[in-house]
Amino acid sequence: MANEAPLSFEATAFQCFVRGLRGVWRDEAYRGAVEAAKRAGSDDLPEIERRARESSAYRLYSWLERHSQQFKYYGRYGVVRWMEQRKGALEKVLQDAAKRHPERLVLDPALALPDYVEQVDTHQHGGGIWSDACDAFAYETSSSAYSFSLFNPRSPMDVYAAAARAIAPQAKAILDLGCTSGGSTRALKRAFPDAKVTGIDVAAPTMMLAHLRTLEEGLEIHWRQANAENLPNEHGSADLVASHWLYHEMPPAAVRRSLREARRVLKKGGGFLAYDMYLVPGGAIGRWLQAGYAARNNEPFAHTYAGMDMKAELEAAGFTGIEMRVAHPEPDDAVKAGALPEFRTHYMTMITARAA
């Protein structure tokens, strides 16, 4: 939770209620939706959807998937509403932090936000995370309280940092693309204490919040407001380019431009790492669940990203040694063999490669 705006008892209780709703979605409602999808007897996603809608279990599942997120943000004690009541104080906190070590925080007021950021209320968060201090703190509070699948939200950061160490153990210059409020970047800095680590994102408020959290933790990290499609870094200047939950928020053309930029700024042999939703276990039903999630949670490019041939895209951008694996949560033998998991979750894929 954001230290500057701790939730009240009432707000905390409300968020626990929302978490309970999410638990019903993840478990009982999910199992009912899967049974409805199996009864469709088809691998065609539109046909699965048409037949599943006849099931009350699937209707409950899809309602909870959509509305529990709305409650989390905009219910009576939703995190966005809570932060909006403290807007002035939160803005001052970020402005004051920006005056400390200003050389580490480079903002670009002239930067034009991409349409896919500005015109999509991603995660059903009105204005996204780029509008003001309220949105930045609300996003941080939401993502640090519990993940969409109710996992410990810190565990993916540990997996991410460990993969970075494996692909580029001697890295001295690291870029973390799409870093938002900097949790992934701080994990990289802890894993590479002697490296220059730079977090990059298009949203100024989250850059400022990331800077604040870094000051609080006593880490030296640089923050740069920039677009992953047009990086300000010099050719061949980075040892590792990493991203944590970035590409599923971008349309395919933007993903391709970002891959080319990553290759441009990497030294030959430098490491590339992308941690995101890509591989979708569970066959046609797994893909159907993913597509439904993307639609109901205002993430229109999660579905298109999963449909990209990332191996071919990376090769075209100038990468080699490409490897992909489901990294979190660790799939059991049944899921590896093609089965659906016992509860609803978003499997995260680790993609690694090297600059050719």
- As given in the structure block, the two tokens for residue 193 are 């204490």
Q: How far apart are CA 356 and CA 352, in angstroms?
A: 13
Report yes or no on 20 lying in a domain: no
Q: Is 74 part of a structural domain of the chain?
A: no
Structural domain contains residue 73: no
The verdict on residue 325 lying in a domain is yes
Nearest alpha-carbon partner for 265 in 307, 212, 224: 224
Taking Cα atoms as reference points, which of 352, 330, 329, 318 lies closest to residue 148?
329
Number of H helices, E strands in the chain: 16, 8
Whether 123 is in a domain gets the answer no
Q: Could you list the residue range(s) of the whole structural domain that residue 278 is in? A: 155-355
pLDDT digit string, tens, across residues 226-274? 999 999 999 999 999 999 999 999 999 999 999 999 999 999 999 999 9
Give the other-Cβ count within 10 Å of 226's Cβ. 22
**pLDDT digits 0-9 by tens, 30-62:** 999 999 999 999 999 999 999 999 999 999 999
Total number of domains constituting the chain = 1
| pLDDT tens sequence across 291-343 | 999 999 999 999 899 999 999 999 999 999 999 999 988 899 999 999 999 99
Stronger pLDDT, 204 or 141, i.e. the higher one: 204
Domain membership of residue 274 (yes or no) is yes
- The answer to the question of residue 63 being in a domain is no
| Residue 64 located in a structural domain | no
Residue 2 has pLDDT above 50, yes or no: no
Q: How far from each other are the two terminal CA atoms of the chain, in whole angstroms?
A: 42
Q: Which residue do the tokens 């996003």 mark?
A: 139
- pLDDT for position 200: 98
The per-residue pLDDT for 1 is 38
d(CA 317, CA 274): 14
Spatial distance between the Cα atoms of 169 and 282, rounded to a whole number of angstroms: 34
Whether pTM exceeds 0.85: yes
Specify the CATH number for the domain of residue 281. 3.40.50.150
